[in-house]
């Protein structure tokens, strides 16, 4: 069904793999449409409890396909805007996916590739992966990825790396918060991603969706009465939910909760 990506679902895990290695997984309109569709389907599929974003070949993702970007510049302003919105919407779907998302980064990521990573909840890469926000070097700007990238690395580092377009190492990406973990090689990458998946699969699926919404609702907000009231309402609702009751009862009865397979 897809030509630029591969999707699979196994034991609660949905995997979307960017599969355009000859272009370092750069995304054009076709890849964006497929990715956007696949994220939406994974989000709606009850068999998927965790979503992994991975890719094939040397690079994780070389960002926007510059042939496509250049082509879009020649479109009518309406078509040009429609195209940009499609990319922004794909990133939003990934960032707001109700399932936890894990980026498996086996190689370099540039521009929009950094954006994809920033949209995922958890990011793990090999030591040799490199990163850059190269847009200004190309005379463009990291516009639609900016809310996600700034949320991940903060304004201070966004100023440096968006303005200099310098390459930075996985160690630096780890230091500034783009990555959660660095590992030595692909085998260690699979192991580390597997451990995170196991942790996520142990958690209540509805609680995970609620928790993602909670983070989105609270992050960057000053501690106002409205925020405090919102958090009180959320826990009130969630602890009375079926899953909340089951999780707490299972703990007190010293058994596994119903959402864990074989419980
Ligand atoms: N858009 C379109 N094509 C791209 C691309 C992109 N973002 N990134 C790589 N490619 C293409 C190259 O043009 C090349 O095409 P060709 O075989 O027709 O010449 C092919 O992929 C292989 O790339 P090449 O540069 O020869 O490989 P490399 O291993 O020496 O370098 C990169 C790989 C990713 C480091 C390098 O291609 C690069 O810097 N790409 C631009 C990344 C970028 O700045 N992205 C942000 C865009 S907003």
Residue 262 has pLDDT above 80, yes or no: no
Say if residues 113 and 25 touch (Cβ distance below 8 Å).
yes
What is the model's pLDDT at position 1? 86
DSSP state of 27: B
Probe target for ligand 1 pocket from 4, 24, 91, 144, with the most ligand atoms within 8 Å of CB: 24
Weakest mean pLDDT among 43-57, 73-87, 110-124: 73-87
24 close to ligand 1 (CB < 6 Angstrom): yes
Q: How far apart are CA 138 and CA 125, in angstroms?
A: 26
- Phi then psi dihedrals of residue 150, to 5 deg: -65, -35
Packing angle between helix 77-95 and helix 112-119, nearest 10 degrees?
A: 40
H/E element, 35: helix 29-44
Distance 107 CA to ligand 1 centre (A): 13
Distance 170 CA to ligand 1 centre (A): 19
b/e map 132-166, b = 16+ CB within 10 Å: bbbbeeeeeebebbbbbbbbbbeeebbeebbeebe
pLDDT at residue 107 above 80? Answer: yes
Specify the residue for token string 């990573």: 117
- pLDDT of the residue at 263: 67
Average pLDDT over residues 27-39: 97
Nearest residue (by CA) to ligand 1, atom 13, is 23
pLDDT > 80? residue 261: no
Distance CA 54, CA 21 (A): 12
Decide if domain 5-201 falls under CATH 3.90.226.10: yes
pTM for the full model?
A: 0.97
> Does the CB atom of residue 111 touch ligand 1 within 6 A?
yes
Interval 132-169: pLDDT, tens: 999 999 999 999 999 999 999 999 999 999 999 999 99
Per-residue pLDDT tens over the stretch 90-105: 999 999 999 999 999 9
The percentage of residues in the chain with a pLDDT greater than 70, rounded to a whole number, is 99
State pLDDT tens for residues 182-191. Answer: 999 999 999 9
Mean pLDDT over residues 55-75, rounded? 94
What average pLDDT does the structure give for the chain? 97
Cα 219 to middle of ligand 1, angstroms: 35
The alpha carbon of 134 and the centre of ligand 1 are apart by a number of angstroms equal to: 12
Q: Whose CA is nearest to atom 33 of ligand 1?
A: 24
Query: If you average pLDDT over residues 19-47, what whole number do you get?
Result: 97
Decide: 61 and 55 in contact? Cβ < 8 Å: yes
Q: Is the CB of 26 under 6 A from ligand 1?
A: yes
In terms of phi and psi (left: phi > 0; alpha: psi -120 to 50; beta: otherwise), the region of 262 is: left
Q: What percent of the chain has pLDDT over 90?
A: 95
Q: Which residues are paired to 180 by β-bridges?
A: none
């Amino acid at each position: 069904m897809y030509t630029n990506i591969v999707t699979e679902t196994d034991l609660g895990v949905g995997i979307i793999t960017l599969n355009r290695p000859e272009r370092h997984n750069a995304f054009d309109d076709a890849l964006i449409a497929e990715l956007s569709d696949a994220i939406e389907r994974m989000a709606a599929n009850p068999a998927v409890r965790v979503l992994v974003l991975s890719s094939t070949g040397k690079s994780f993702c070389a960002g926007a396909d510059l042939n496509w970007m250049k082509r879009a510049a020649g479109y009518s302003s309406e078509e040009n805007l429609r195209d940009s919105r499609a990319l922004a919407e794909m990133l939003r779907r990934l960032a707001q996916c109700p399932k936890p998302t894990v980026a498996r980064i086996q190689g370099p990521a540039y521009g929009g590739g950094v954006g994809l990573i920033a949209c995922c909840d958890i990011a793990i890469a090999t030591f040799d992966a490199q990163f850059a926000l190269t847009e200004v070097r190309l005379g463009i700007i990291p516009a639609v990825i900016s809310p996600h990238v700034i949320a991940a690395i903060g304004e201070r580092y966004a100023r440096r790396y968006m303005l200099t377009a310098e390459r930075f190492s996985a160690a630096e990406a780890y230091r500034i918060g783009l990555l959660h973990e660095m590992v030595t090689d692909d085998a260690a990458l699979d192991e580390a991603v597997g451990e995170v998946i196991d942790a996520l699969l142990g958690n209540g699926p509805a609680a995970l969706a609620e928790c993602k919404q909670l983070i989105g609702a609270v992050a960057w907000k000053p501690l106002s009465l409205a925020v405090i009231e919102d958090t009180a309402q959320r826990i009130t609702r969630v602890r009375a939910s079926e899953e909340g009751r089951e999780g707490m009862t299972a703990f007190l009865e010293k058994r596994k909760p119903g959402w864990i397979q074989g419980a």
